[in-house]
Amino acid sequence: MKLYLGTNYGHGSSAAVITEDGKLIFAIEEGRIIGDKETSQFPIKSIKEILKFTNGTFDGWAEGWHLYNRLLYKGVLQTLKYGLKNSTYIQHRLKKEILRYYSGKNYYQKIFADQNLKRTNLVGHHLAHAFSLLPWGLPPKSLIIVSDTTAEKESISTFYWTGIEMKRLCHSTFPHSIGSVYHQLAYHLGFKGRTDPAWRINNTWLQFASIQDDIAFKKEILSAYQNFENGKDLAASAQKWFTELTYGYIRQSIDIAVNRYGFKVNNIGLSGGAALNCQANGEIIRRLDNTRIQQVFISPWSDDSGTAIGAAAWMAQKSNPEIKFVKTKPFLGFPISEDVNINTDKIKKAIDALINGKIVALISNRLEFGPRALGGRCLLADARVKNMQVRLNKIKSRPYFMPFAPAILDEDFSDFFYGIGSENMAWTVKAKPKAMKLTPAAIHVTGEARVQIVSDESMLLFRILKGYKERTGFGLLLLTSLNGKGEAIPSSLIQSINTAQNLGVDVIITDNEFLYSKIKYENKLLVQ
């Protein structure tokens, strides 16, 4: 069987493989293997793990960036544009892109030799984002909006998937970027992440393309720095601004697709880093509910890591334009164990712990792909406990006010929430009074929650929710990723148990055992 490799060399470095019959069979992020959440190194370890998993060779390879255009547009041209205003741009951007270019060429050549491949197909970042939605079930006649800080040069792009062709309809280039403005405001307010000097807010200047001469706006932003009340107002304003602009762009894109190109738009796909904004997604979905749009598709891997999946899908579709992709689940990495044998008694112990206010680490199934834990490597807690949000934030070293997502049985969703639920926490929904009353720790101050609906009976998470419902009357628990501040979600069983013990959770449940966290774990390997 032919195998097509996709990689992303950059933020969210990752690798994925798709078969000739459209099945996404393995995908993993480099940071999960090496334990570095923010790594941007070439995903060589991820590729090795894919080779182990498939026991085969690749018939084609595509990269989720265009290496040469990236060097030109993100390195050389941006340095020429901003370097005079801020000399650190030369060090921050140009040097980094040159190093990426040359080290990337070396890695590519090594894999060419090892795999007997002739070349890498450089897809283009936004095109790879668009293709990444196909293994998540995106049907034909779908309009795709890709939005992030910047690709090689684009910041927001619109594509149309016909079923055999991905057509680009329009785009906007950097620095005209919704994602960049939102990202830098969030960074300024204390939510750390990557930033470029040419966009950083400081005490002297603010390089926003459309508002760079607005002195009053600069003063308002600077007054919010380390001022909690002003910061809250600015954050809420930024969120509203982001939502309104994104929704406006979607409506414009629909109009272009229908009236300029004559396409029928049945569905919308959202991808790119901006598609991780769950609150905006929820508002957009509610508004589109009044239109002829049937469904909105947002994958678990809408961040940059997903471009590895998109690149593999592009390669497979290029080889067979009529390929039909198989909708997959997000559990695409390492399995915890070959043998799954967790009995009812052990599940009951975990439920007892939850009802008694304990925090439970759940380590099950294959590793999730994408930035969110969805039942593979996660922490569970009782949402009825009012201060549980504070307790979880404390052990994860997050700001005390940060919300947590509830995982809920599909059959219970409509009792607690309005609208349509997401199986991968892709958007927020409005909470009903019952949820506000019974599960206060699961509801954000806005009256919303980023819900994960659970319906797969094969999941250990489903069995725990089902057992919890038998005891309490409903199947809803708080769920968050199994990692501490700045840590990657762990991949292997040993790494996962180590992480749980370091966080100080009360108990651990895996696909074949139940453990008290404070007891050292021995199973061929010893936790150090």
The Cα–Cα gap between 257 and 253 comes to 6
Q: Residues 389, 403: contact at Cβ < 8 Å?
A: yes
Q: What is the pLDDT of residues 111-126, one digit of tens each?
A: 888 888 888 899 999 9
3 state SS of 525? strand
Q: Residue 78 forms beta bridges with which residues?
A: none
Q: How far apart are CA 399 and CA 456, in angstroms?
A: 32
One-letter identity of residue 389: Q
Q: What structural domains does the chain harbor?
A: 3-134+303-329 (3.30.420.40), 136-298 (3.30.420.40), 334-526 (3.90.870.20)
Distance of alpha carbon 408 from alpha carbon 421, whole angstroms? 9
CA separation for the pair 423, 437 (Å, rounded): 24
pTM score of the predicted model: 0.91
Percentage of the residues of the chain whose pLDDT score is greater than 90: 63
Examine the pLDDT at 329 and tell me if it is beyond 80.
yes
Give CA–CA dist 425/333, Å, rounded: 19
Q: What is the pLDDT of residue 512?
A: 86
Residue 210 is predicted with a pLDDT of: 39
- Strand 452-454 versus strand 405-409 pairing type: parallel
User: Using an 8 Å Cβ cutoff, are 466 and 350 in contact?
Assistant: no
252 in Cβ contact with 288 (< 8 Å) = no
- Which sign does the torsion angle of CA 405, 410, 411, 413 carry? positive
Each residue of 45-89: pLDDT tens digit? 999 999 999 988 899 999 999 988 988 988 888 888 777 776 777
Taking all residues of the chain, what is their mean pLDDT, rounded to a whole number? 87
Tell me the C-alpha distance between 36 and 206, whole Å. 31
Has residue 127 got a pLDDT over 50?
A: yes
Q: 359, exposed or middle or buried, with CB in 10 Å at 0-12, 13-18, 19+?
A: buried
Pairing, β 121-122 against β 60-63: parallel
Q: How far apart are the first and last CA of the chain?
A: 41
Question: What is the Cα 277 distance to its own chain's centre?
Answer: 10
Query: Computed from CA positions of residues 331, 334, 336, 341, in that sequence, does the dihedral angle turn out positive or negative?
Result: positive
Considering Cα of 62, then 67, then 69, then 70, what sign does the dihedral take?
positive
Strands 24-29, 60-63: pairing kind: unpaired
Q: What is the pLDDT of residue 433?
A: 96
Q: In this predicted model, what pLDDT tens digit does every residue of 169-208 receive, in sequence order?
A: 999 988 788 888 887 777 666 665 544 433 333 333 333 3
pLDDT at 32: 93
Q: Which helix (H) or strand (E) holds 283?
A: helix 278-288
Confidence of residue 318 (pLDDT cuts 50, 70, 90): very high
Q: How many CB atoms lie within 10 A of CB 372?
A: 23
Report, in this order, helix, strand and coil percent for the chain, each rounded to 5: 40, 20, 40
- Residues 6 or more apart from 190 whose CB is under 8 A from it? 231, 399
User: Per mean pLDDT, which range of 159-163, 342-346, 373-377, 380-384 is the poorest?
Assistant: 342-346
Average pLDDT over residues 391-410: 88
The H or E element that residue 121 is part of is: strand 121-122
CA distances from 423 to 8, 293, 381, 428, 435 (A): 25, 19, 19, 12, 18
pLDDT at 211: 40
